[in-house]
């Protein structure tokens, strides 16, 4: 194997790929993006996927057109001839091919790591169990309000590798980062990094909550003194005060918690005091916005706003620009997204709630009596944790997916629980049961993979079903029977 130089600039880092044998595991979005990037930068690329070629026809055609070699149906020893291998986030570190590569001493990097070598501009990166998508989108909108050239990418849907060609020295890549993407980073060092919260998630992959936390902390592992790490002082899972980093630590959260924890003034970011958010500027606490000025509901969105504002403040964005961006932000698709109102009932799409903490946030954000669609592929969490919030906020539940029996056992004595075989059926049931003034909320608290490709497909299916109700109402058919 060839030695891999550790270069400092995007231009110098081209030596890490030109003429090298670069393996890529996985032909999903991230794998395809980094394979094409590596090929365009002069690497001899080999891509490997366990799925059948008949399931990867579009990807296979793309690679053939680019003259990139690939294999499907399993991983062979060809990958062992690589100078290094780039791993897609969906590939577990415990998989047989990863174990084999590690035994052979082959360096393994994540797509996030690989792409970051070639980013000419700055990177703002955000991770956490919940709120990542909303926070990076807020940051993106704030930067755009300040006329920055901002590109939104990462776990949100567009791989960082796909944006490299569009980034220059004056650009900012705003990157949503998952724990999976952080498992194989080496020198990833964003100008500003943020950890929003850490609650049990992806434990089937990481094993324990501590392993999950350690994966999240890798976002700052290579940061230096000139860079910033933004942390949630209110989240016990983050345990902000205990984190060791060379980066400048900045805390966001409630002023009360900061005072109790005796957080020094130079470590404070944007904080909440009563019904307003404040920012420390030149030794003074300056009011940023009233909380009622935010267009997105819920305490969790106040936390997202504080995180986004703290990131932008650390990046050097003016308060006026931050204020303008926050006030203009209207939310993201599939996260407490208002779909329609039908016969006086509001229908809310929160398909992005893939763990119970996210479902709790959604329920806390809504005032009206809620009829909840819950369930999917579980993550080992206990639905008993929803009992208190369900008792306070929920009128009935329709359970779907693999976890419906667990939901009935945990919550069936708290509120009525029905089963539905599909999301469309659940929508019809709740259309018949709901009354004017109520809210129907899809907030599954589970992964989508038992019934859908991803949470986006699940959310789209829900929205289509709701839009059918709207069509029926406009045609005078009223509720389904």
pLDDT tens per residue, range 149-188: 999 999 988 999 999 999 999 999 999 999 899 999 999 9
The mean pLDDT value of the chain amounts to: 92
**pLDDT over threshold 90, residue 25:** yes
Structure tokens at 451: 């019934």
The beta strands (E) that lie in 258-320 are given as 268-273, 276-281, 284-290
Third-level CATH fold of 19-106? Rossmann fold (3.40.50)
Residue 90: pLDDT band (50, 70, 90) is: confident
Q: What is the rounded average pLDDT of the residues 46-57?
A: 95
Angstrom CA distances, 192 to 126, 127, 188, 339, 345, stand at: 8, 11, 11, 34, 42
Where is average pLDDT lowest: 225-229, 329-333, 383-387, 468-472?
468-472
CA angle 300–266–229, rounded 5-degree value: 55
Domain topology for 115-328: 3.40.1190
Q: What's the pLDDT tens digit per position in 422-431?
A: 999 999 999 9
Residues forming CATH 3.40.1190.10 domain(s) in the chain: 115-328
Per DSSP, the three-state class of 97 is: helix
Q: Alpha helix (H) ranges present in 342-422?
A: 356-365, 387-393, 404-411
Letter string b/e over residues 8-44, b meaning 16 or more CB atoms within 10 A of that residue's CB:
eebeebeebbeebbbbbbbbbbbbbbbbbbbbebebb
The percentage of residues in the chain with a pLDDT greater than 70, rounded to a whole number, is 94
* Residue with the larger pLDDT of the pair 367 and 9: 367
Q: Using alpha carbons only, what angle is made at residue 188 by residues 222 and 303, rounded to the nearest 5 degrees? A: 85
> Residue 7 above 50 pLDDT?
no
**CATH 3.90.190.20 boundaries in the chain:** 337-474
pLDDT at 476: 58
Q: What is the pLDDT of residues 398-417, one digit of tens each?
A: 999 999 999 999 999 999 99
DSSP state of 148: -
Residue 114: CB partners within 8 Å, gap ≥ 6? 34, 37, 38, 86, 161
Residue 210: pLDDT band with limits 50, 70, 90: confident
Percent of the chain beyond pLDDT 90? 82
Average pLDDT over residues 301-328: 97
Q: 337-474 belongs to which CATH class? A: alpha beta
Q: At what angle do helices 29-40 and 57-65 cross, to 10 degrees?
A: 0
Residue 208 has a pLDDT of: 86
Return the pLDDT at 417: 97
Categorize the per-residue pLDDT at 93 as very low, low, confident or very high, splitting at 50, 70 and 90: confident
How many angstroms separate the Cα of 400 from the Cα of each of 124, 333, 340, 374, 405?
A: 37, 21, 22, 6, 9
User: 52: which residues sit within 8 A by CB, 6+ positions away?
Assistant: 72, 73
Query: Could you give the residue range(s) of every CATH 3.40.50.720 domain in the chain?
Result: 19-106
């Amino acid at each position: 194997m060839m030695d891999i130089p550790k270069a400092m600039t995007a231009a110098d880092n081209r030596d890490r790929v030109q003429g090298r044998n670069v393996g890529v595991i996985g032909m999903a979005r991230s794998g395809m993006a980094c394979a094409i990037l590596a090929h365009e930068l002069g690497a001899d690329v080999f891509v490997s996927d366990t799925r059948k070629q008949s399931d990867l026809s579009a990807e296979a055609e793309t690679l053939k057109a680019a003259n990139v070699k690939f294999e499907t149906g399993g991983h062979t020893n060809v990958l062992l001839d690589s100078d290094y291998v780039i791993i897609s986030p969906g590939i577990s570190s415990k998989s047989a091919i990863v174990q084999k590569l590690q035994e052979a001493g082959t360096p393994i990097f994540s797509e996030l790591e690989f792409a970051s070598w070639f980013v000419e501009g700055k990177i703002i990166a955000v991770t956490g169990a919940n709120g990542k998508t909303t926070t990076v989108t807020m940051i993106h909108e704030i930067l755009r309000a300040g006329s920055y050239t901002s590109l939104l990418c990462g776990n949100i849907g567009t791989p960082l590798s796909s944006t490299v060609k569009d980034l220059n020295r004056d650009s900012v890549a705003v990157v949503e980062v998952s724990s999976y993407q952080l498992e194989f980073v080496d020198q990833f060092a964003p100008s500003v990094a943020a950890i929003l919260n850490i609650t049990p998630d992806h434990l089937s992959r990481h094993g324990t909550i501590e392993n999950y936390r350690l994966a999240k902390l890798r976002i700052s592992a290579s940061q230096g003194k000139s860079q910033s790490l933004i942390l949630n002082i209110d989240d016990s899972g983050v345990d902000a005060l205990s984190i060791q980093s060379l980066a400048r630590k900045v805390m966001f959260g409630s002023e009360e918690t900061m005072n109790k924890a005796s957080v020094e003034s130079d470590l404070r970011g944007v904080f909440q005091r009563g019904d307003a958010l404040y920012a420390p500027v030149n030794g003074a606490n300056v009011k940023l916005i009233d909380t009622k000025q935010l267009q997105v509901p819920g305490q969790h969105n106040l936390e997202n706003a504080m995180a986004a504002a703290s990131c932008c403040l650390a990046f050097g964005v003016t308060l006026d620009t931050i204020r303008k961006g926050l006030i203009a932000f209207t939310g993201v698709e599939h996260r407490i997204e208002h779909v329609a109102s039908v016969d006086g009932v509001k229908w809310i799409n929160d398909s992005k709630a893939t763990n119970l903490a996210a479902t709790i946030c959604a329920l806390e954000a809504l005032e009206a009596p809620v009829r909840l669609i819950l369930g999917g592929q579980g993550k080992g969490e206990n639905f008993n944790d929803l009992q208190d919030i369900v008792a306070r906020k929920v009128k009935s539940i329709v359970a779907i997916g693999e976890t419906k029996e667990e939901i009935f056992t945990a919550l069936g004595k708290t509120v009525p629980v029905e089963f539905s075989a599909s999301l469309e059926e659940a929508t019809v049931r709740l259309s018949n049961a709901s009354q004017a003034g109520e809210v129907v909320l899809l907030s599954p608290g589970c992964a989508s993979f038992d019934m859908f490709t991803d949470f986006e497909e699940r959310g789209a299916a829900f929205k289509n079903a709701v839009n059918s109700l709207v069509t029926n109402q406009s045609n005078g058919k009223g509720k389904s029977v």
